[in-house]
Structure 1
Amino acid sequence: MAFHFNIGRDDLLKAIGAQQNITNKKGTLAILSNVLLEVQPDHIVLTGTDLEIGLKQRVPAEVLETGTLTLPAKKLFEVARESGSSILSLKELDNNWVEISAGPSLYRLAGMVADEFPSFPAYNEEAMVIMESVILADLVDKTVFSIAQDKENMFTLTAAMLQKVMQDDHVMLKMVTSDGHRLTIMSKEVETSLEQLHLNPITLIPRRGVQEIRKFCENKTSLSFGVEEKQAVLKSDDSLLIIRLMEGDFPDFQGLLSVLSKENSIRIDRIRFLESLKRINLFTEDLFHAIKMDIADNTMVLTSQNADFGSAKDEFNVEYSGPPLTLGFNCRYFIETLQVMEGDVITASINTQESPCMITSDEDKGFLSIIMPMKL
């Protein structure tokens, strides 16, 4: 049956906009760049998938005729975005064409039959628990930057590991990411009801899935969350997100944590440090962003050199009473870490010139970052 419905521009734009990162992925199946429209008697259901991530959304609409078809997601988004009308009318014509009326504008968009569209994964509703969306959002915000890019040798580093641990009779959710040069951990205490949340021995969420989780959390107070053997599921009143989990092992970071100590601890004004790093980074080499840190007598001196442009130096006060240290680090790693942290003062703990730097803050409970040194 050919569908015909009217829909608010903002409602369509919000829904189809959320599908862009999923449907815009270049793939072998042409229909995966389309979004499935299932027009029900009093609403429409939009579904997009790339076979790894699937998003299903319920959107209010004035339905005149029901029906099902797929339309190019990017083009539908562009039409809605540029439309000057607050209401769009979509009417299916012969041969899978759809006529879109938006005020004085009229568009004809070629669709594809829904028969070829992949079926949406089934999921276990009983395995899901209700949780505050801000918890997942905070876990992602504090760790997503250190997930490895696809070129990394160890493929599983392109995912975030999610853990549930018991700590002093409290239930903690922990997200761990690493690109081989740095490690970031964020732990959040959650309600005891999350004891019912089942996680796999190793739960790995791919980077794109982590990014979609963050977007899913926006403008939501709570959501339902579940992890099954091969997929993670997030559900709200009008949306359903399913992410295929990655298989494999994650590096044993507990061994690294056990050998780090806080013998040489430097207390640093976070904002002052961040501003200095951004200035020094202007004169680092593009590939490694190497900087030199000299620390002695409550003073830190940062220097960088660029073969083509010159050099930079910045000096400021810190709290440090240990032996003098001369260190080399990737400046960008420190910048990205400090940008997501909370609190006025951070603590940088470094055992020796060759050891990793551990960054924490008393004002940012649950956050820990480890950055590996560079040879200068």
Structure 2
Amino acid sequence: MNITCLKNHLLKALNLSSSQMGKNQNIPILQGGFLKTQKNQLSIETTNLESSLRVFIQVKTEKEGEIIAPIKTLMNLISNLKDEKIKLEKKDNNLEILSQNSKALIKCYPLEEFPSFPSIGEGIKINIPIKDLIAGLKPTANFVSKNETKPEISSIFIFNKENFLNFAATDSFRLSEKKVNFIEEKNFSFLIPSKHSQELIKILESGENPQETAEITINQNQILFKGRDFEYLSVLTSGEFPEYKKLIPDSFVSEALVSLKDLTEAIRSSTIFSNRLNEIFLFLNKEKQNLEIKTLNADLGEYSAKFPAQIKGDSLNLTFNCEYLLDGLENFKTDEISLNFAGETKPLLIKSSQDSSLLYLIMPMKNY
């Protein structure tokens, strides 16, 4: 192997690759990355045995070859180099890195010990714009359960129905659903583990052109995402996602139309004074057509804010987790949102009055 590449391109690829390295100290080879050159392209493979990533960058190749290099050592070195162009050359089982004023020799791992990139085989193949994939994953990835003893709700449920690709996640206290336009005759559904969906978002957002299309191959146990400069393979979660549609109320006792900016800013300020349970109290006043929020902390003090709301239905008093409420609101991008109350002990449904593709459901904590 003997190549010349741009520092920024290599460093970006190494940063992505490092997130896929195995954490098991008993398998040191997983701290390495499989570097391989073919023609004028360098690929870097990393794996943690549950997910695997292959990224590609353009290089000038003088001699093709392959080597297993320690990713963090290589990344730390490259990040400290000042030159724009860097030369990498294999010397026996070492990797020599040359810049204009420096030279380093990194000891590498035996080639035969690195796990090969998994082959997914046959499966359902679909294509989707990367921007739509990001749009579906980001509003749902943070709302999965942190309890991995229930893997089906520690995952994002993705399925197609009625010309939409649906993304859903829940941790039993809240639920988020996002729909993106998608016309595909093939029926499919799968559960992708939360930690892998978070990594996938980073990979997708690192691309320079979100208008590009990702090719996805799905089989019973694995899923492969392929873009112009990456391939990402993840195991899938086995099990059944809850029938979450039954959790969404279809009738409401009150509805409040409020400014998203006003509500978000008020709740963000209120978190300063929240107690150890993160309680926030909501007072819906139909007569005065306003919404009041309040937080109390025995050690710090209290906070309250009122703002106009177009209210239909009953006046209500409810208590929510302020962090959970804020997490959901931050995914909406419209000027106004609709707060739909099914009752003081039933879920609150939040949706946009201008965009029906996203909804957020949150359970109240208790009556005030």
TM-score under structure 1 length normalisation:
0.91
Which has the larger displacement, 136-145 or 17-26? 17-26
Q: Are 1:256 and 2:247 an aligned pair?
A: yes
Number of the residue aligned with 1:295: 284
Q: CA deviation at 1:125?
A: 7.0
Number of the residue aligned with 2:180: 188
Q: CA offsets per residue over residues 332-366 of structure 1, 9 Å max, x none?
A: 11211111102111111112111110001122221
Q: CA deviation at 1:130?
A: 2.4
| 1:165-180 equivalences in 2 (<5 Å) | 165-166=161-162, 171-180=163-172
Q: Aligned AA for 1:270?
A: L
The verdict on how the C-alpha distance between 1:272 and 1:115 changes in structure 2, with shifts beyond 3 A counting, is same
Number of the residue aligned with 2:273: 283
Number of the residue aligned with 1:84: 82
Write the distance in 2 (CA, Å) between the matches of 1:316 and 1:26: 52
Please report the RMSD computed on the Cα atoms of aligned residues, expressed in angstroms: 1.8
Structure 1 contact 128–227 (Cα < 8 Å) conserved: yes
Number of the residue aligned with 2:150: 154
Q: CA deviation at 1:215?
A: 2.5
The partner residue of 1:64 within 62, 65, 73 is: 62
Number of the residue aligned with 1:236: 227
| 1:83-232 equivalences in 2 (<5 Å) | 83-94=81-92, 96-124=93-121, 127-149=124-146, 151=147, 154-166=150-162, 171-190=163-182, 192=183, 194-196=184-186, 199-200=188-189, 203-218=190-205, 219-220=208-209, 221=211, 222-232=213-223
The verdict on how the C-alpha distance between 1:153 and 1:317 changes in structure 2, with shifts beyond 3 A counting, is farther
Write the distance in 2 (CA, Å) between the matches of 1:27 and 1:205: 26
Which has the larger displacement, 208-217 or 50-59? 208-217
Q: CA deviation at 1:106?
A: 1.8
Write the distance in 1 (CA, Å) between the matches of 2:122 and 2:102: 43
- Aligned residues with identical type, % of pairs: 23
Aligned length: 361
Write the distance in 2 (CA, Å) between the matches of 1:187 and 1:18: 27
Q: CA deviation at 1:153?
A: 5.0
Which has the larger displacement, 329-338 or 51-60? 51-60
- Please give the secondary structure, in 2, of the residue aligned with 1:128: strand
Q: CA deviation at 1:49?
A: 0.9
Q: CA offsets per residue over residues 286-309 of structure 1, 9 Å max, x none?
A: 4x3111111112121111112221
Q: Are 1:44 and 2:42 an aligned pair?
A: yes
Q: CA deviation at 1:47?
A: 0.6
Write the distance in 1 (CA, Å) between the matches of 2:19 and 2:246: 36
Write the distance in 1 (CA, Å) between the matches of 2:343 and 2:265: 25
Q: CA deviation at 1:195?
A: 2.2
Write the distance in 2 (CA, Å) between the matches of 1:320 and 1:184: 24
Which has the larger displacement, 313-322 or 45-54? 313-322
Structure 1 contact 199–228 (Cα < 8 Å) conserved: no
Q: CA deviation at 1:227?
A: 1.5
Number of the residue aligned with 2:51: 53
The verdict on how the C-alpha distance between 1:70 and 1:341 changes in structure 2, with shifts beyond 3 A counting, is same
Q: CA deviation at 1:262?
A: 3.1
Q: CA deviation at 1:26?
A: 4.4
| 1:11-26 equivalences in 2 (<5 Å) | 11-23=9-21, 25-26=23-24
Q: CA deviation at 1:93?
A: 2.3
The verdict on how the C-alpha distance between 1:41 and 1:134 changes in structure 2, with shifts beyond 3 A counting, is closer
Q: Are 1:332 and 2:332 an aligned pair?
A: no
Structure 1 contact 182–372 (Cα < 8 Å) conserved: yes
Q: Aligned AA for 1:266?
A: A
Unaligned 5+ residue runs, structure 1? Answer: none
The list of structure 1 runs, each at least 4 consecutive aligned residues, that deviate by more than 4 angstroms after superposition, is none
Q: Which protein has the bigger helix share?
A: 1
Write the distance in 2 (CA, Å) between the matches of 1:28 and 1:246: 25
TM-score under structure 2 length normalisation:
0.93
Q: CA deviation at 1:155?
A: 2.8
Write the distance in 2 (CA, Å) between the matches of 1:324 and 1:264: 7
Write the distance in 2 (CA, Å) between the matches of 1:275 and 1:40: 52
Write the distance in 2 (CA, Å) between the matches of 1:9 and 1:123: 32
Q: CA deviation at 1:115?
A: 0.7
Q: CA deviation at 1:76?
A: 1.4
Q: Aligned AA for 1:175?
A: F
- Please give the secondary structure, in 2, of the residue aligned with 1:320: strand
Q: Aligned AA for 2:340?
A: S
Number of the residue aligned with 1:364: 355
Q: CA deviation at 1:277?
A: 0.3
Write the distance in 2 (CA, Å) between the matches of 1:25 and 1:364: 41
Which has the larger displacement, 291-300 or 265-274? 291-300
